[in-house]
Amino acid sequence: MIRKAEKSDYEEMDFVFRESAKALCIRNYEKSKVLDWVGKPWAERFVESANKGNDQFVKISNGKVVAFAELNTEKFMLNSIFVLSNYAGKGIGQELLEFLISKAKEAGIQYLKLDASLNAVNFYLRNGFKKCGVSKFTTQNGVVLDSVQMKCVFGT
């Protein structure tokens, strides 16, 4: 089940973010950079993110948060999808992506942009996004990550 995130989900989402980044992003970045990025447990990151206008959604499996995603319809931006590493490769990322695209369409948006971490580029390419540039993405806690700018224009 995918549903809107609640404040009571933030600790679990923080765990998912930190575990997923450490397990799955480490293949494409220096370990020290990923460790700086994930930092210490900090559930308030999601309060900050919600205050910036991001809509947050969680995927629940067996009663726990196994993945989450954030969307900013005002900025036409897909901000994040993170899946617990044990649940990766099972289509959950794709399910969340399709969910976000349906939310974006509901909001009257015709396209979404994102800054993909290097490990996620193939995932987005397989799911209809195209590369449109490269960027140095600054994370919430100020770490600069090489990333790929991508865009998906929705069909009718």
Quick check: 54 binds ligand COA (CB under 6 A)? no
> CA geometry: angle at 50 spanning 45 and 54, to 5°?
115
Quick check: 82 binds ligand COA (CB under 6 A)? yes
Question: Across-strand partners of 81?
Answer: 69
18 or 73: whose CB is closer to ligand COA?
18
Residues 7, 64, 75, 90: which binds ligand COA (CB under 6 A)?
Answer: 90
Residues 34, 65, 71, 81: which binds ligand COA (CB under 6 A)?
Answer: 81
Report whether 112 contacts 155 (CB < 8 A).
no
Read off the tokens for 14.
Answer: 């923080």
Q: Which stretch binds ligand COA (CB under 6 A): 7-15, 31-39, 41-49, 85-93?
A: 85-93
3-class state of residue 85 by DSSP: helix
Total residues contacting ligand COA (rule CB under 6 A)? 24
43 or 127: whose CB is closer to ligand COA?
127
Dihedral, CA atoms, 10, 44, 143, 113, nearest 10 degrees? 60
The alpha-helical segments, DSSP class H, found in the chain are 10-20, 31-38, 45-51, 92-106, 121-126
Q: Which stretch binds ligand COA (CB under 6 A): 7-15, 18-26, 30-38, 45-53?
A: 18-26
Q: Which residues bind ligand COA (CB under 6 A)?
A: 20-21, 24-25, 80-83, 85, 88-94, 114, 116-117, 119-120, 122-123, 126
